[in-house]
Amino acid sequence: MPTLAAGNKPARGPWRAKPARGFTLLELLVVIALIAIATAGASLALRDSADSALDRDAQRLAALLETARAQARASELTVVWRSQASGFVFDGLPTPGLPRQWLATTTQASATPIVLGPEPLIPPQSIALSSSTRPDRRLWVVTDGLRPFAVQNSPSMEQR
């Protein structure tokens, strides 16, 4: 029986072994690597949906409001958050302050100015956020004055 050991002569006759057919391990690894690179490129090229951009902006705003609230209490300052055409602003914080832009340029806020004073309790507050690409979907960043700001699908605190 023929083997691949050195010194063996190739077999002769009708029972001779046929050459192996198929792919080598190296060829399979190269194909898998190319597929992985193509998949990574495609996933990076996909754009974020308006819904997830609005969710991210709402979560970020809730965190920024809590940060401003903590800074106002620690420094005994009155901080006022207000919406602007190109973003928002925290008046009363020392420089450099907090970010002033939305992560998505399509995010819009409709709210009266929110006062985050040095007192531990503030009046109940809510900020409605929407996206210009999906105006039918709204999220609210709310607080009852005692609990931290949270993101909800309705403006009332009873949902929590």
Domain with 118, as residue range(s), is 50-159
In a domain, 115, yes or no: yes
**Residue type present at position 22:** G
In a domain, 39, yes or no: no
How many C-beta neighbours within 10 Å does residue 115 have? 17
CA nearest 57: which of 131, 4, 1, 123? 131
The number of distinct structural domains making up the chain is: 1
In a domain, 152, yes or no: yes
Q: What is the mean pLDDT of the chain?
A: 83
Contact 134, 54 (CB under 8 A): yes
Tens of pLDDT, residues 73-101: 888 888 899 898 888 999 888 878 788 88
What does pTM read for this prediction?
0.67
Out of 1-5, 57-61, 64-68, 82-86, least confident range: 1-5
In a domain, 36, yes or no: no
Determine the pLDDT at residue 134. 82
In a domain, 138, yes or no: yes
In a domain, 14, yes or no: no
- Give the pairing type, strands 79-84 and 107-110: unpaired
In a domain, 35, yes or no: no
